[in-house]
Amino acid sequence: MRRLHIDFPSTVLLCILSATFCTLCEAVSCSSNEYCPVGWSVLRREDGSAHTCDPTAFNAKCPRPHNCVHSKCGISFCCVHSDKLEKWKRQEEIEKEIEENNAEEEEEL
């Protein structure tokens, strides 16, 4: 009876390649409702595509109030919780009103 000789480094390399291939397959089959967690929404560009990010790269960060969230698909997207987005919008409106009021007061003086 002949014994099958398995080369350990080749087996490890095969496992790594298989895992990488499976990750790529999942990323391709990712649907838009999997970009962000439930209750969160993804930031869209002008062309309608999802805004991706890289938390380690300075030039690929998300604009406020969005956070870089790693999805099940293996890609990171700019996402924001709907409550946080509403609070941020309200805060922006309040700050704008304060600036306008200050500008009006300065004109009166």
Residue 32: predicted pLDDT: 81
Assess contact for 65 and 76: CB atoms under 8 A. no
Any domain includes 41: yes
| Per-residue pLDDT in tens (0 to 9) along the chain, 109 residues | 555 555 555 554 444 544 444 444 444 557 888 899 999 999 999 999 999 999 888 888 899 899 999 998 889 999 999 899 899 999 999 999 999 888 888 877 6
Any domain includes 42: yes
Residue 95: predicted pLDDT: 93
- Which phi and psi angles does 79 have, rounded to 5°? -130, 155
Neighbour tally for 45: CB within 10 Å: 10
Q: Based on the structure, what is the number of domains in the chain?
A: 1
Residue 9: predicted pLDDT: 58
Residue 15: predicted pLDDT: 46
- For the question of whether the overall pTM of this predicted structure is more than 0.75, the answer is no
Any domain includes 83: yes
Any domain includes 3: no
Any domain includes 63: yes
Any domain includes 61: yes
Q: What's the Rg (C-alpha) of the chain?
A: 24
Any domain includes 44: yes
Any domain includes 1: no
Domain that holds residue 51: 8-108
